[in-house]
Structure 1
């Protein structure tokens, strides 16, 4: 009679131990998945920030006084654009925010530009990546290009 009770308690303890090990393995898998998704979102945010830098470079190449026209009454300006999927136009991939500082335009012929890529929306949890650059107006090339910086403008 005592032997049967011992086996019952032993099997119950083994079942609890196996359940605890299984839950531990599941939590490790979940954290690994979250880590890999964070890496994917960081890469997407970097691509969005690069897209913002290229967008403002092309806009300024077409119109050097973008967005205000000939007058330079606005020294610092910023705009935000959403990027959607080409395969599914209703699906939003993320946004980028471009800030341009024209305070060094006349003496140095340089525009300070910052582009931030956001994945997951502007206010939601997600990834953000910042690129800072200084665009030389003589040949429209970036003389300074810093990736992963803290927002400076």
Structure 2
């Protein structure tokens, strides 16, 4: 039995600039995938996750771009593999209420992707873990849980990490 299998670890709606960033990122991944391969910058993902500009600079100086490989197939079949390499790192994910979440990224993060006009789904993700800690109770105790990220679903209206 998989605990919390269908429940998102983190999920939030995207508005304003983040909504535009998500739509642009999905469009860029579709464009690169249609060419068969290429890479996209990591910055838009970090902006959508709502990291500050200093954190984004620090992370992108340590992590490379996201490499997309899409075997040539029938027109419009935008699926394949993705890969991101860089220094292993750990950072707190901003913008969460009632809990702290830390994302741990190994040297190599990889998996499969499926893209369509308004959806990006990353599956079979390897190299990414999120540790969630509920805020400390009055008695000083806190509850922490670690989750291996299995999939990420990005739409222009929302982001969900499972």
TM-score by length of 1: 0.35
Larger strand percent? 2
Question: Greater CA radius of gyration, 1 or 2?
Answer: 1
Larger helix percent? 1
Greater relative CO, 1 or 2 (CA 8 Å, sep 6+): 2
